[in-house]
Structure 1
């Protein structure tokens, strides 16, 4: 098995929304905001190369939305999904599986492309993986979260016949060496892949822990549907991760790809940060 970072560019989100009840005077020390109170965030995906399988975890925001839509998020950087795959010698046609942690637009947008005014799966040879509970949550969204679930990002996956569901089971082994943890605070039934790699456990954190700056327990996003649930889930996860020396891969941290953890007087914090390729 080989793991590769797939960078798809950066975008901006409101700093207050990203840090919830934490005051700006505190969070801006780790994630400085611009004049509009916006912070830069990565959209970092993961490629798992294992035998005949080439598994992509999340897909970034994509490029099919309107100019008005993108104007809210200030996309920047030179990286794209296609460029990052090409740098590794792959193309979109080589992907066998697309694992979607959840269906918010910055995670699933690249899964579908616009072709002659039609919305079609970007990865035509891949099976797309979600879970039934989250799929229903996303396709019948509540008013608070519906702006994050765009029909053109989601419905074409089912219409194509390429969508399959992963059973909602605790510590499920989805494929050899890849287990799935479920989290329910950010959105219902978000999935975190937990990968056995080089005698380590690598966990792709999705939005349970967007960045190193979110390690302190109260640092919970205002985007989370159930923040107290996130608080409980994050606390339990970090306790297990530090005890078992897991490596965390951070989807949205603009600087740090991966980190390990240590206990400090202030709680569990990052021990060392590094790029995935240096593991």
Structure 2
């Protein structure tokens, strides 16, 4: 249920030739305290009410940029085949711990609503390789883990791949080789280093606050701009600079990054696209003193 204080407007959004299409991959739950770090529960529970285990609902929302002859997917969600990919014990543990929704949308179901099959996706940009962002990048086929999108070029930052390959103890539970090694083996993972334009009008900015070398995706045609925030700003509640996750490795770095990028977003009227917000897809923001606030939320 959407909180009473959320006014959400339905709209359609295009950037250049791209139709901007939210791709929900399934709800799951995370501890509310972990999601809001040092923010008191009495504040965050107003906008993100928890269940009896203190978990708040989260979406794993990918983004499809659909245009004639070129379909670009940003992130891939959790993936629904945890048992097959990680083994029965770990797969069941994932489903229980994170309250994963068995029914409802999935990556491939959501793509199908736009008339697309896995082979119709040409590019997959992975913000980072945490399991809730890259879990749908690979799948089991004929007893072997392979790329989910057989004709796609995948993109990830060099620094993030290095972190995922040799994770620190803090992040070890979030990075799984099953989500990226099959891409390397198939020769479809393009490793890039630093901010750059990947495709015309589609570029990546680097954020090191949440994890090493997360790439935030900027889509623009010079008039309309969408920023796919990934875990830099996971939900619309997190547009406030000090509202950070307990999962973030470098909070002060992340606050500086948010200040920089959200200043541009507010001043230039960018749409922020939220990967984990269960209630809205995107928002416009505005300055609020020395901080930021949501101006308007959207369902695309």
3-state DSSP of counterpart to 2:136: helix
Residue 264 (structure 2) aligned to one of 225, 234, 240: 240
* Partner SS, residue 135 of structure 1: helix
The reply on whether 1:182 has 2:232 as its aligned counterpart is no
How far is 1:266 from its partner?
Answer: 7.1
**Residue number among 130, 135, 147 corresponding to 1:109 in the alignment:** 135
SS in 1 for 2:146: strand
Q: Does 1:138 align with 2:155?
A: no
Deviations 1:140-191 (A, max 9, x none): 110110110011112111011111122313xx22111112111000011101
1:257 is aligned to 2:249: no
Residue matched to 1:173:
197
1:124-145, CA deviations, whole angstroms, 9 ceiling, x for partnerless residues? 1111111211111111110110
User: Is the CA contact (8 Å cut-off) linking 1:96 and 1:127 kept in structure 2?
Assistant: yes
Contact 1:220 1:227 in 2 (8 A): yes
Tell me whether 1:205 sits opposite 2:222 in the alignment.
no
CA contact (8 A) 2:159 2:193 kept: no
1:159–1:6 distance in 2 versus 1, CA, 3 Å:
same
Structure 1 runs not aligned, ≥5 long: none
Aligned to 2:238: 214
> 2:80 aligned with 1:55, yes or no?
no
Q: CA RMSD in A?
A: 1.4
1:166·1:174 contact (CA, 8 Å) conserved in 2?
Answer: no
Equivalent residues of 2:80, 2:106 under 8 A apart: no
CA displacement at 1:52 relative to structure 2: 2.0
Cα deviation, residue 120, structure 1? 1.2
Contact 1:259 1:273 in 2 (8 A): yes
Q: Deviation at 1:196?
A: 1.2
In the TM superposition, what is the alpha-carbon distance from 1:198 to its structure 2 partner?
A: 8.2
Matching residue within 56, 61, 80 for 1:44: 61
Runs of 4+ in structure 1 deviating by more than 6 angstroms, as ranges, are none
Distance 1:205 1:14 in 2: 20
Instruction: Give the Cα separation in 2 of the matches to 1:266 and 1:70.
Output: 40
| Number of the residue aligned with 1:72 | 97
Q: How far is the alpha carbon of 1:117 from its aligned partner?
A: 3.5
Q: Is the 8 A contact 1:58 1:99 kept in 2?
A: yes
Tell me how far apart the structure 2 counterparts of residues 86 and 26 of structure 1 sit (CA, whole Å). Answer: 38
Distance 1:246 1:115 in 2: 40
User: Aligned equivalents of 1:265 and 1:182: distance in 2?
Assistant: 26
**Matched residue SS, 1:147:** coil
TM-score of the pair, normalised by structure 2:
0.88
Q: Following the alignment from structure 2 to structure 1, what is the Cα–Cα distance between the partners of residues 61 and 36?
A: 19
